[in-house]
Structure 1
Amino acid sequence: MILFWPSCNIVPCNIQYLWCLHCGHIYRGRNESCSGPGSKACREKMRRDKLNDRFADLSSILEPGRPAKTDKTAILGDAIRVLNQLRAESQELKVANEKLQEDIKNLKTEKNELREEKGLLKADKERIEQQMKAMAIVPGGIVPPHPAAYQAGVNKFMAFPSYGGYPMWQYIPPAALDTSQDHVLRPPVA
């Protein structure tokens, strides 16, 4: 940039030079716009303008509600801070995502195990129902045995007519059938 004395009266002497009336010097004149798009100064000015525009865009992106900053070091500092925050958030989300994927895998395994268990329980239920039906139906060709054949159980339990003559003492647990302590626990009534 050319500096002139405040009292200098500049008169263009031709297209490329300026002449100062006060001191008599001749200066090479420059337009505000570049003399040609191919000149080095013009390319450098365009590059700086583009960089300044990019910094202004970056500043407005980093803090959308505030006016754009012009200090490039402050803009770069803000950009570094925001990038570090985003990187930390990304890492936290990655860890949370891995944990959720592991939870999904465990839940799928548990779901499959529950399906298998449900199938086994259904099969057991059907088997038990079939056994109950088989026990409830007395085959037509078989006559129930005479109660005298079960002399060991006759003294303990009487047969009920609704059970079809089958003694039920065989279904009672062995601890309830033990008669060795009956005289102590239940003395005879006179």
Structure 2
Amino acid sequence: MAALLFVPAGTRSWWQAWTFLAVYFASSLALTLYLIKEDPALLQRRMRGGPTAEKEPIQKIIMLIASLGFVGLLVVPALDHRFGWSQMPPYMTLAGNVLVGAGWLAIFFVFRENSFAFATIELAPDQKVISSGPYALVRHPMYSGALVMLLGMPIALGSWWGVLVVAVILPALIWRLLEEEKFLAENLAGYVAYRNSVRYRLLPWVW
């Protein structure tokens, strides 16, 4: 991630990037240490992800789009910084880092509630429907947390152009969400009833 930021930017003198990396990796490390101690099985499930880990061709395509979009969230702000395409005031950068941290916090609550949060679309033999915690608000709270984090990334890096990359990732995220719902409805006992009881998929009171 540091290479994707500093190489296109052409400089290491970029405080927004250093601040973002500190927030991102501190949050990631804290969550990893939590899983090592409290739920190593979930950590193992999260270690295998990305396009090559998916079994279905459609999921490989979706994850490829999402992966390229994630790279774009770093490279586009870096180019923006290098060529001065847009400017953000410092308080926006700090707000972006708050969003990144909030996204990680939301994912923590998901992991604390659901030990079956695979990085790929699949089921464990003993998997059951989770309807408590954040799952009582939306059916896909990890995607909600990820969306907050993704939105925060280009803002933390001070790039309005980077925010536009989120618009590229969002359709892939929604596509994956809908495919996952279809898979769970067909294969996980009790999911249809849960889907009918929790109205919103991604954003409470919106959709």
Q: TM-score range by the shorter chain?
A: under 0.3
Going by fraction, where is strand more abundant, 1 or 2?
Answer: 1
TM-score (norm 2): 0.20
The TM-score with structure 1 as length reference comes to: 0.21
Bigger radius of gyration, 1 or 2?
A: 1
Q: Judging by fraction of residues, say which structure has more helix.
A: 2
Flag the structure with more relative contact order, 1 or 2, with Cα contacts below 8 A and sequence separation at least 6.
Answer: 2
